[in-house]
Amino acid sequence: MSREVKLIETITAHLPTRSDTIVGAGDDCAVIDNGPDHSLLLKTDAIVEGVHFQIEDPADKVGHKALARALSDIAAMAGEPNSALITLGLPKDFDQQWVETFYKGLNATAQTFDVAIVGGETVRSPGSIFCSVALTGKVARNKAVLRKNARVRDALFVTGELGGSIDGKHLDFTPRIKEAQWLSEHFDLHAMIDLSDGIAGDLNHICNASGVGAEVWADYLPLSRAARLRAKQGDAAKPAVAAAMTDGEDFELLFSIDPGDAVKLKDQWREVFPETAISCIGKIMEQPGIRLKDEQGIRPLTSHGYDHFQ
């Protein structure tokens, strides 16, 4: 277990809650009781220079990424985003032009997804630039899709294509807000998560929360062009299947539904979202752990999604 995971387990074991806390720490968003109509979703997500972006990256795309990561978590609950506050940590000799371009990208994404930017602050950061986004959202009461309700025999689906996000997608992805709302309106989604750490890590979160295991079918993984190109770069290159399983920052949706809904979902999806792939990549099983099935057989997955502390 990494030090970060151990730390988070220790921290989350003692957090105070209230009677209106429906879902506390441990899902994509917190869910707070807010009366009979809808529940409140709360999320914070931070990006750090040198970890999630480089200073050479286009600042407007970094601004997009800062907000879009949090939007992706609202999507993973099938929620609708609302208001955001932006905390920007800047060195003493910050570049005003960089900050303005960062906000240009962030504001454009906010407008696209009808998010109000209602405040925040700049603080001095002696090390590197960081940006923490606090985002609220709404979801109809009892309609938030959690990680914990995956059922044995469920079909596992992912949107889009996976792997190689570092080649550009991590700065330029579309949070799946409208796709998740459509899915939630038309299907009974049992469990959902957004892929920030790779299937290996994030499917593990669903399985642990639901007390189940899963089998992933290598041949059905939607491998991105970036992952396939990278896999050809020599003997030391990461195979595309491994990239799809373990690369971070795909920000696609991973969800489980009753297997009887699978064909209907694929058919309807193609009509509504013809430009975005949807793939059935495996199934939920009773046996704990995640197993990868490929031409060589079935074997337990030992690789994990990447961990910022390792």
State yes or no: residue 288 binds a copy of itself (CB under 8 A).
no
Determine the interface stretch with a copy of itself among 17-25, 181-189, 208-216, 286-294 (rule: CB under 8 A): 17-25
| Phi-psi sector, 243: left (phi>0), alpha (psi -120 to 50), beta | alpha
Give Rg (Cα) of the chain: 19
162 sits in which H/E element: none
Alpha carbons 287 and 294: distance in angstroms, whole number: 18
In the complex with a copy of itself, the residue whose CB is nearer, 14 or 232, is 14
The secondary structure of 228-266 as a DSSP string is HHHHTS-TTSPPHHHHHHH------EEEEE-GGGHHHHH
In the complex with a copy of itself, the residue whose CB is nearer, 124 or 232, is 124
Q: How far is the CB of 24 from a copy of itself (least distance, A)?
A: 5
State yes or no: residue 1 binds a copy of itself (CB under 8 A).
no
Are the C-beta atoms of residues 130 and 29 closer than 8 Å to each other? Answer: no
State yes or no: residue 126 binds a copy of itself (CB under 8 A).
yes
Phi, psi for residue 157 in degrees, rounded to 5? -120, 150
State yes or no: residue 8 binds a copy of itself (CB under 8 A).
yes
Number of residues binding to a copy of itself, judged by CB under 8 A: 72
In the complex with a copy of itself, the residue whose CB is nearer, 40 or 231, is 40
Alpha carbons 164 and 112: distance in angstroms, whole number: 25
State yes or no: residue 101 binds a copy of itself (CB under 8 A).
no
Of residues 135-154, which lie at the interface with a copy of itself (CB under 8 A)?
136
Q: How far is the CB of 126 from a copy of itself (least distance, A)?
A: 5
State yes or no: residue 130 binds a copy of itself (CB under 8 A).
yes
In the complex with a copy of itself, the residue whose CB is nearer, 273 or 306, is 306
